[in-house]
């Protein structure tokens, strides 16, 4: 299958210029033809036979550009999905300008957590998808009632915390790599607190045994983690009920940036990470296959994919 992409820009209603614009890159299954005009303009139609397309909105880590996740976006789009990555430069804290997934810190506070989404970029992204569904290459082809939120690191946390049907009924599943819900002590939480998640949507949490960023960031949560995957495991265990399917995949030898390729070592927290032990290609293949099977099983309700995901997790093994 051919995969193409297009660009869009959206405004964030309550952000202040010049930090009020999000740039989207949208990947979609394409139908290549012999049309010379299409080829010369680079505007390739979507493969309408696979529509309507479920949508994955992917939230990257802080100071992680969307291009680090293009490999994953292309792989998932080849399964018949539309994938949205984005770059948003914002001043989240005074004097600190960075690429951000959009994290609403006020909704992480003890008196507000769980009452509103923490993904501050999401309203603008959903509005952009509605616009793309009304005109252009993807007009009428997007399944706006089946949106999956996924992400990495801080973006993964924003995704799983915002995947709540009370906030956004069109969101139907969520996944994250290298993310957890440990509470920041500076916001007033007791050390070691793990914040709860809504349990009504399917969820896939993925982590790596060599995640140095998690291992070296325990101070902000008032703890020293027993192992890098401890807060991910505790986040998974804190979902008390099983009203929806949930999966935990812990990958031996994977580090915090196993999902990002190629890594940009000039920004971000790559210097905190531990070296991965194993093939990066094989780890990325495992990550993308798990996410793809998860979506097919829990969004497309494919029973064979559900069994394949169970088998994949069994083969990978828990740490």
User: What's residue 313's pLDDT?
Assistant: 93
- Please list the residues that pair with 4 across neighbouring strands: 28
Position 28 scores a pLDDT of: 98
Distance CA 185, CA 109 (A): 10
Question: Which residues, given as ranges, of the chain have pLDDT below 70?
Answer: 34-42, 240, 317-319
Distance (Å, whole) CA 204 – CA 295: 9
- Select from 238, 231, 249 the least CA-distant residue to 288: 249
- Work out the angle at residue 313's Cα, subtended by the Cα atoms of residues 310 and 317, and round it to the nearest 5 degrees: 140
pLDDT at res. 37: 55
Closest CA to 174 of 61, 308, 54: 54
Question: How far apart (Å, rounded) are the C-alpha atoms in residues 132 and 123?
Answer: 14
What pLDDT is stored for residue 211 in this prediction? 97
pTM of the predicted structure, to 2 decimals: 0.95
Give the model's pLDDT for residue 40: 59
Residues 157 and 231 sit within 8 Å (Cβ to Cβ): no
Number of domains in the chain: 1
The pLDDT value given to residue 96? 85
Residue 35 has what pLDDT? 66
| Residue 210 neighbours by CB distance under 10 Å | 21
CA distance 25 to 300: 24
pLDDT at site 319:
42
Q: Is residue 83 a contact partner of residue 26, using CB atoms and an 8 Å limit?
A: yes
Mean residue pLDDT of the chain comes to: 93
CATH number at residue 158: 3.40.50.1820
Which among 165, 178, 86, 82 is positioned nearest to 124, based on CA atoms? 86
C-alpha torsion angle, residues 90, 92, 96, 99 (rounded to 10)? -40
Predicted local confidence at residue 39, as pLDDT: 62
Cβ(293)–Cβ(309) below 8 Å = yes
Matching residue, tokens 């769980």:
114
**Nearest CA among 170, 151, 178, 162 for reference residue 72:** 151
Helix axes 280-298, 70-77, angle to 10 degrees: 40
The domain of 130 spans 2-316
Angle, CA of 61, 65 and 68, to the nearest 5°: 90
């Amino acid at each position: 299958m051919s995969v193409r992409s297009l660009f869009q820009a959206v405004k964030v209603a309550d952000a202040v210029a010049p930090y009020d614009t999000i740039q989207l890159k949208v990947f979609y299954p394409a139908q290549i033809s012999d049309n010379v005009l299409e080829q010369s303009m680079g505007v390739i139609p979507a493969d309408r036979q696979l529509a309507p397309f479920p949508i994955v909105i992917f939230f990257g880590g802080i100071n992680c550009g969307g291009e680090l996740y293009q490999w994953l976006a292309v792989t998932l789009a080849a399964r018949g999905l539309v994938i949205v990555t984005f770059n948003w430069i914002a001043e989240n804290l005074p004097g600190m300008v960075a690429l951000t997934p959009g994290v609403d810190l006020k909704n992480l506070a003890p008196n507000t957590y769980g009452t509103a989404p923490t993904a501050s970029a999401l309203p603008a992204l959903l509005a952009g998808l509605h616009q793309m569904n009304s005109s252009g290459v993807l007009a009428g082809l997007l399944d706006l009632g089946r949106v999956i939120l996924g992400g990495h690191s801080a973006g993964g946390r924003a995704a799983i915390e915002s995947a709540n049907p009370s906030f956004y009924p069109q969101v139907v599943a969520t996944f994250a790599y290298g993310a957890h819900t440990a509470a920041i002590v500076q916001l007033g939480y007791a050390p070691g607190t793990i914040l709860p998640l809504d349990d009504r949507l399917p969820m896939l949490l993925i982590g790596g045994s060599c995640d140095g960023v998690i291992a070296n960031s325990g101070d902000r949560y008032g703890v020293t983690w027993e192992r890098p995957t401890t807060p991910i495991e505790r986040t998974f265990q804190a979902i008390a009920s099983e009203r929806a399917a949930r999966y935990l995949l812990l990958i031996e030898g994977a580090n915090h940036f196993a999902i990002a390729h190629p890594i940009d070592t000039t920004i971000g927290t790559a210097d905190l990470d531990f070296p991965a032990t194993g093939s990066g290609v094989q780890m990325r293949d495992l990550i993308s296959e798990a996410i793809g099977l998860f979506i097919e099983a829990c969004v497309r309700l494919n029973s064979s994919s559900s069994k394949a995901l169970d088998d994949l997790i069994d083969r990978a093994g828990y740490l």
